[in-house]
Amino acid sequence: MADQRIKVAFDGPVAVITAARPDKLNAFDIEMLKALAAACDEVEANAETRVAILTGEGKAFSAGGDIKAWGGMTPNEFGHAWVRFGHRVFERLATLRVPLIAAINGHALGGGLELAIAADIRIAERHVKIGLPETGLGMVPGWSGTQRLVRRAGAQVVRRMALGGEVFSADEAAVLGLVDHVVETGEAVAAARDYAARIAARGPAAVEVAKLMIAAANGEDNGTAVEALGSILVAKTGDLKEGLAAFSEKRAAKFAGEW
């Protein structure tokens, strides 16, 4: 049975992924991470989906990693079963084929901010706080807080959060580029749906390719971007059709250099 703490709903071209563990401020354990990866696969498999929204149930977006889930791990377990696995799941989320909008309806601290930064667009409610408190616990960000977050928001703002423990309001976060839009409390999901409709109205193939190109320019997932773009291009050529026909008919291919 699927973990019900990660919900996926489809509404036409929009998929909504919801972390649904409100009693724990939507903090993640291993099973939730697995469910999030499965949710990404479900979104990818839905051909109608053109954009996805990520949010949290209740008053929180996500408190990040559940301390009880990793607090008793050995260093080896913590590094591999927790940090590396969570890193792979968040990478999966960040590289969805469709644009992802984070509707930040509650505080995004630590792993919650790392979750939000995986999105292409971030819409935060005015009351939320944003930061990286890990060093105050004697640990460091582990789900790309010093990697993707640096690439997307800049090293200096990450230094202020990770080294200085600064916590920013939503308005401050918008000025710093941590979030893109600020809305009033209770309006993040509706605003995300409005933005999703804007994206969904554009050419889906162009949007998907543009996302890949931007990621490559930002030093993210270069190998996947290059191979995906190249494969899409070649898949439309007459040469590929000829190659497949020749293979099926057990004959030598006669390529004409047709694009």
Residue range 164-193, pLDDT digits in tens: 999 999 999 999 999 999 999 999 999 999
Rounded mean pLDDT, 1-17? 91
Q: Which pLDDT band holds residue 84 (cuts at 50, 70, 90)?
A: confident
Concatenate the DSSP letters of all residues of 163-198 into one string: TT--EEEHHHHHHHTS-SEEE-TT-HHHHHHHHHHH
Share of the chain above pLDDT 90, in %: 64
| pLDDT at position 142 | 85
Rounded mean pLDDT, 100-120? 96
Pick from 108, 131, 2, 132: nearest CA to 55:
108
- Asked whether residue 97 carries a pLDDT value surpassing 70, the answer given is yes
Four-point Cα dihedral 54, 12, 152, 212, nearest 10: 140
What's the whole-model pTM score?
0.90
Candidate list 114, 125, 208, 220, residue with the active-site label: 114
- Asked whether residue 238 carries a pLDDT value surpassing 90, the answer given is no
Candidate list 57, 91, 125, 134, residue with the active-site label: 134
Task: Reply yes or no on whether 91 is catalytic.
Answer: no
Residue 40 tokens read as 């990404």
Strand pairing of 108-109 and 51-56? unpaired
Per-chain mean pLDDT for the chain: 91
Task: Reply yes or no on whether 31 is catalytic.
Answer: no
Q: Which pLDDT band holds residue 72 (cuts at 50, 70, 90)?
A: confident
